Amino acid sequence: MKRLIKHGLRRGLKLYLFRGLQKLRILQYRLLSENAPREMRGRLKQPALFCGVGEIYIGASSIGVWPSPYFLNGYAHIEARESTAEIRIGKGCHLNNNAVLIAERNRISIGDDTLIGHCFSAYDSDFHRLEAHLRSSGTHDGKDISIGNNVFIGANVTVLKGVTIGDNSVIANGSLVNRDIPPNVIAGGVPAKVLAPLPD
């Protein structure tokens, strides 16, 4: 009995210290952030760095998951780089650890009730031209990204500019999504393609 009580006290102390340290990390990244979301109804369980001069809106969602990889040594990077850029996350979403969303000039939107695995990335731009003599000219283009409602995205997924992912669809771990994915399907691969319809 004494051993159980001792174990319980030790565990409680560890959790208390752990939560305190994570709160300090979240505060540190908040102080480092140069952009504050216009709307922030979400809950940060992991540090998030907000960058750029565009607009960021986060509904009643959560960023960071415990227990999951990179919870203690990673952070979310959410950047609306230029004044025309916008990032919008709906309500009921769960973004796992180490998410990266960079909207350079366009819009990245994530619908309601979407689940996203760790090390997810979304980029609305290539950031550079392919031609060697124009690579740093700043004349590259960008396109909106739209992720629908109730989408389930696995770990280590990258979504590129111009992509729309339809409602309810599932994207497999490790996928590179560079084209539209319709609603109600399972998709995966590099590049991602439709693998099957969602089961009823």
pLDDT over 70, % of the chain? 94
Give the pLDDT confidence score for residue 26 in this predicted structure. 94
Q: Is 128 a catalytic residue?
A: yes
Residue 88's identity, in one-letter code, is R
Give the pLDDT confidence score for residue 14 in this predicted structure. 77
Give the pLDDT confidence score for residue 133 in this predicted structure. 80
Is residue 185 within a helix (H) or strand (E), and if so which, with residue range?
strand 185-188
Give the span between the Cα atoms of 128 and 135, in whole angstroms. Answer: 5
* pTM across the whole model: 0.89
Question: Which of these is catalytic: 77, 94, 128, 133?
Answer: 128
Q: Measured in whole angstroms, how far is the alpha carbon of residue 152 from the centre of its chain?
A: 12
Give the pLDDT confidence score for residue 200 in this predicted structure. 82
- Read off the pLDDT of residues 12-69 as tens digits, 9 standing for 90 and up: 777 778 788 899 999 999 999 999 999 999 999 999 999 999 999 999 999 999 889 9
Q: Of 106, 41, 38, 95, whose CA–CA distance to 71 is shortest? A: 95
* DSSP 8-class letter at 133: G
Relative to beta strand 185-188, strand 193-197 is antiparallel
What domains appear along the chain, each with residue ranges and CATH number?
A: 33-197 (2.160.10.10)
Give the span between the Cα atoms of 147 and 72, in whole angstroms. Answer: 27
Q: Which residues of the chain have pLDDT under 50?
A: none
